[in-house]
Structure formats: C-alpha cells, structure tokens
Amino acid sequence: MTMPGAAGPVPSGGAGIRISDVSLTFTGSRTVHVLDKVALDVRPGEVIALIGPNGCGKSTLLRVLGGLIGADEGSVSIDGTPVTGPDPRMGLVFQEARLLAWRTAEQNVRFPMELAGWSRERQEARSSDLLGLVGLREFAKAKPSTLSGGTRQRVAIARALALEPRVLLMDEPFSALDALTRERFNAELLRLWERTGTTIVIVTHSIPEAVFLADRVVVMSPRPGHVVAEIPVELPRPRRAADLDSAFVSHVAAEVRRHLVDTTDDRIAMGEDRTASVAPSKPGHAAPGAAPARVLHPDTDPGTPAWFDPFRPEDEA
C-alpha cells in the first residue's frame, strides 16, 4: 500500500518476535542477575513500548534481541529463525545518534549498505528514499556537527532502516530531545511505521509516549528484570495526538503507572541488592572479584544504576 504523497521506500513489513524465557547474569566485580525468564511474543508489525525503572534490564533485553549479547538461558527468534548474533533483520537506534563525524548525513545513511556490499546504484536509490522518508533531503550533504540533535537522530533512524530491517529496536531514542521536538518525533515515528510496517520495540521512560506509540505497553520490574504487566492500548490507528480520546489515554496511563508504582518498593528505594545473595556463581562464570567474563561494547555499560531514583512519571517531573 502506498500512502498518497509519500516519498518512496519499499516497505519492509514487520517480523514476529518470540522471546522465550530469556535469563542473563553479568559476572565480574559483582554478580548482577539482570534478566529472569523474560518471555514476550510480538506480532508482526506490532509496536511495543518497554517501560520500567532504571536498571531493570531494558537495554540489556534490547541487546539480547538485537543479537549483540547472548542470553545465558532461553532464546530469541525472529519469524521463527533464532537470533544468534548481530542480525541484519533488525535496525538499532540509541539515545545518541552515534553518527560518523567525518561523513555527511547521506554517507552515514549509506554506511550499512556499503558494509553489506550493495551496488552504488542501489545505495543511492535507497538513501535518497530514506532521506525523503525522514524529511532530510536538504541536509543530505551536511556533516553531523552542523545538525541539531533532533536532525542527527533522524539520520540515525534513516541509517537504522537502511538494510530494510523487519524490526526496529529503539533504546530511549527521543530522551535527549526537548519536549516539543519529542512530540513531533513521536508523530513522525508513527507515520514512518505506517509507511514501513516494521515491528518496533521502543524503550521509553515516558508514559504518554508509550501510550501514544504502542499497541502494548510492557512494564518491567528489576532485580532481576522481568515482565510484570502487558497493557494493551486499544486506540485506533492512524493515531494523531490531537485525535486521541484523552479519557481513554489517562485510563491506560494510570494502569501503566499502577504497575510501575508496584515496582518502586522499599528494596529499590533503599538501594539494597537482592541479587547479591540470591544469584549463585554458576559453573563457567567468574567468581566475584575476578575480571569481567563478558567484554562488551563500551556503550553498553551504563555505569552505576540509579537505584535511588526510581521511575518518576513525567508529568510529576
């Protein structure tokens, strides 16, 4: 289906995702049981918002989904095929755009296509379509340093779509943007979704964002990270912010908040580490005090989690 006036890219369609009892423990100077039997089925083309307190394992789950780290137990599959490593069927977008500074916007979008060995012609056609899709044609030749944060993030989204992924994994992609830009990006993401049909899993700290975007809001709770609620958002599409039935939106938001409130218990507020006494060292895992068993991309280590700063609904911030 082609939308009237739309700019061109071939819709990739969405893939179904099956997350089966994924568990993961980081070992190193301390043992952190991050994910505990996380299970979730995502329908092809569905939009899932993942929400939960800091440190509950949302980014880790996204990385397992994207094949960047392997689970200790359980499995992830995309349309029935297991994910065993970085997977071209998935596009990733992070909070920071992470563009290559010496390349123009267009060259950044083309980078994955170059790595994949696409012909020059195919690269040009695809990058032109994608720059049109994210409204960036006029910035094609601009270097990242000359672009605003929002525009850089658009380039990152276009780049994530480069190889026609069937799933878009987004880790707090709009958190660094100001409130108005963020609203605009939410609406744009939905328009982009209408064009591509890509399955989307988006991590967010914003309840309104989650409710506006998602077909289902999945609430996670920490220590160890697990799914505590899946709240369907039965709002018709296409959604436009102005058309939303505010009573229904508030009702869903309250439901999400109720589950989040349940997770901000005393253990978290006090910063007590339940996993320290619960998670035994498994054979093959490093003993406490030993060098970290996993070597990850530096960007994946979030540093000290803010246990003392449990999730706060945005409208109270």
Ligand X SMILES: Nc1ncnc2c1ncn2[C@@H]1O[C@H](COP(=O)(O)OP(=O)(O)O)[C@@H](O)[C@H]1O
Report the nearest approach of ligand X to the CB of residue 46 (Å). 21
Return the number of other C-beta atoms located less than 10 Å from residue 27's C-beta: 22
- For residue 60, the minimal CB distance to Mg ion (Å) is 8
Comparing CB distances to ligand X, the nearer of 9 and 310 is 310
Write the single-letter amino acid at 200.
I
One symbol per residue from 53 to 72: x for binding ligand X (CB under 6 A), - otherwise; what is it?
-xxxxxxx------------
Residue 23: beta bridge partners?
73
Strand order in 226-232's β-sheet?
90-93, 167-171, 199-203, 47-51, 216-221, 226-232
Please tell me the chain's helix, strand, coil percentages from 3-state DSSP, rounded to the nearest 5. 35, 20, 45
Look up residue 186 and give its two tokens.
Answer: 């939410």
How far apart are CB 103 and ligand X at their closest, in Å?
A: 28
What's the angle, vertex CA 58, arms to CA 153 and CA 93, rounded to 5? 20
Among 15, 32, 48, 156, the residue binding ligand X under the rule CB under 6 A is: 32
Measure the CA–CA gap between 42 and 148, rounded to whole angstroms. Answer: 33
Pick between residue 80 and residue 85 the one whose CB is nearest to ligand X. Answer: 85
- Nearer Cβ to Mg ion, position 59 or 204? 59
Q: How far is the CB of 20 from ligand X (least distance, A)?
A: 19
230 is an interface residue for ligand X by CB under 6 A: no
Q: Which is nearer to Mg ion, 59 or 221 (CB)?
A: 59
- Spell out the SS3 assignment of 202-267: EECCCHHHHHHHCCEEEEEECCCEEEEEEEECCCCCCCCHHHCCHHHHHHHHHHHHHHHHHHCCHH
Does residue number 26 form part of the binding site for ligand X (CB under 6 A)? yes
Name residues contacting ligand X, limited to 238-257 (CB under 6 A): none
Closer Cβ to ligand X, 34 or 252, answer by number: 34
296 interacts with ligand X by CB under 6 A = yes
Q: Which residues bind Mg ion (CB under 5 A)?
A: 59
- Choose the one of Mg ion, ligand X, none that binds residue 81, judging by a C-beta under 5 to 8 angstroms depending on kind: none
Which parts of this chain interact with ligand X (CB under 6 A)? 26, 28, 32, 34, 52, 54-60, 296, 300-302, 305
